[in-house]
Chain A
Amino acid sequence: MRELRELAVRLLETSDVQVVIGWEESRRGVRPAFAQTPAEAERLVFDQRCVHNLAAYLHPRRKHIRGLGRPAVVVKGCDARAVAGLIRDNQLRREDVVLIGVRCPGVWAENKAEGQPGNRRWAERCVSCPQRTPTLCDYLIGEDSPEPSGGPGLEAQVERIQALPMAERWAFWSSAFERCVRCYACREICPLCFCERCLADKSMPQWIESSPHRRGNLAWHLARALHLAGRCVGCGECERACPAGIPLSILNARLQQSVRERFEFVVSDDPVAPSPIGEFRVDDGQEFIR
């Protein structure tokens, strides 16, 4: 904590950084914080409660954050992958942000529902995290910690659903999509959903019906998942924001598995690796093509 605060204070005092985006204590756990003075930087914290992906504050739709000046951002492994995604997709220039990497111990699953005992378990994504310590960063702080284990990881969830008969897979997802109210919280919080105008908001022609009925919801969730294939960093923010409790992380993880198996592509924090969907190889598999 000392290391983080000293670094944040130093950056605000001595370099061209106007805001350090990190976490602070609040009366209900930690939450994103925007330290603009050394005094505010003394409030920054980092621990296993810091689930939020702060990279979402870096994309161009967050005009109110861009207006604060040049930011330094505290990034875990998954957050750094999101920053890399923004750089890769030309939404952010590397030199416009200072990255404070933390050696992430994994984060706790957040329990938002009231009346539930505060039992601590690792977030599913952390159990099978491909890279907890970022390589895309200007500073690296914190200490190494044992790998989070126990509880079902995301990969196990994907396998569980993939193993169901097709009709049961359909039943699972249609009952999940049925709960969707199309608030688009999943999109608004996604660090990689930076489009100024989303396909789902276009009405001429209306590819995705905006009503939360089965037709509109199916089209939305398939399109959302597809647009994140080869881009999703697995931070789970969409699922965390979803007021309807739709297990979006499982859908995202399945597509990343697909991209990995078919195109040998793993989403990393390398900001120049080309997207597997924008690329191709002439010898890509085509077992499904007649």
Chain B
Amino acid sequence: MRVISDADLRGLAADLLAAGSTVWGPARVPGSPRPGVEYRPLREAAELDLGAGLPFLPLKQVFLPPTEPLFWWERKGTEVRLVPPAPPNRRVVVIGARPCDAAGADAMDRVMGWDYRDELWFARRDAATVVTVACERPADEACFCSDVGLGPSHPRGSDLLLIPHPGGYAVEEVTAKGRELVAAFPHRFREDEQVTPGETAAAGPPRIDLAGVQRWLADHFEDETWNEVALRCHGCGACASVCPACHCFDIVDEPDSLLAGTRRRNWDSCQTSRFTVHASGHNPREGQHARVRQRVVHKFQVFPRRFGRLLCTGCGRCTRACPAGQDLFEILTLVSERALETS
């Protein structure tokens, strides 16, 4: 099987940087009160830190930046000129993505190319190659990728999947883009007969009945369960910021003057009351229970019904980030149990 050593993976990052590519990977954040790593554009290959666990924030910022211009506008007399942003002209390679992040981008591909093809999203997706490192074990008890049809070495959304073994990684070429990357830097990879693809981290048996969850959610839009689980929620929306699959955005105009300005899109979150408030003041999602319900129902019932994928990859980030101890896996377990009771 094809393998790459630890040193060569770092070397690959250095080669790519030298060739002018943008390389993202997990790295330490100076000045942050939080230990651990985040996905960052690397300045040098030495910053790459693959041993420090799951980044607190997801990978989605590579494809959907927290803010981006949709176009600039300028008015001259009766004419309005629109200038679109330049397409990305550099190759982007992510080294050390986690399977849950890669799968999150794949889920978003469905909605970004559904009724309208989001050119900005796909330009970034097309320019990027995702090199994923499989997890050897769940990061902690918040992880539940194996319960949502994925797993610690699931290839969905990855171009190359690296499966750790002592001293390096077995390389699984998932897509043509992945094969091209290997072909472009052949000296970084080698064949090793000793390593077999069987040595991947195994996905555990699922602990929740997804079909039952989906069925129950469809029938229990109004249910006391939502009031119970929403009590502790502050509506802060941290869960959406750290979710690898949440993709809602707000569109704003930022005028520079009366005659020119920028239209931007910015991340947004359905967990805050202002997400749905109308100009009249009416809010169709009045109450925190309706917002918590929206998050669960969208991810586990509405989205899969329409796109055949869950909008959750089981990364557990929302659970880790929640300042009030909300636990998505626990909610799913509860729903799963109630589905059993009612079936």
Contacts and interface: CB of A to CB of B under 8 A. Distances in A.
A and B touch in the complex (CB under 8 A): yes
Interface of A: 26-34, 52, 56, 61-65, 68, 111-116, 172, 175-176, 179, 181-185, 188-189, 201, 209-213, 216, 237, 239-245, 247
Contacts, number: 148
Given A27-B141, A181-B267, A237-B323, A245 B33 contact: yes
Interface in B8-36: 29-36
B299 interface: no
Nearest to B143: A114
A188 B239 CA distance: 13
A112 B31 contact: no
Given A183-B269, A243-B57, A175 B31 contact: yes
B139 to A, nearest CB: 4
Contact of B34 (A27, A181, A182, A245): A245
A34 B288 CA distance: 15
A247 B141 CA distance: 27
A183 B238 contact: yes
A201 B275 CA distance: 11
Contacts of B33: 239, 245, 247
Interface stretch (B116-124, B203-211, B225-233): B225-233
B236 A32 contact: no
Q: Taking each of A32, A112, A239, A243, which has the highest tally of chain B beta carbons within 10 Å of its own beta carbon? A: A243
B25 to A, nearest CB: 16
Contacts of A34: 231-232
A172 B289 contact: no
Contact of A184 (B66, B236, B242, B319): B236
Contacts of B31: 172, 175-176, 247
Contact of A188 (B66, B237, B254, B327): B237
B280 to A, nearest CB: 14
B141 A211 contact: no
Given A28-B141, A115-B140, A247-B33, A56 B231 contact: no
A213 B264 CA distance: 11
B252 interface: yes
A289 B26 CA distance: 48
A148 B64 CA distance: 43
B232 A112 contact: no
A107 to B, nearest CB: 13
B325 interface: yes
B247 interface: no
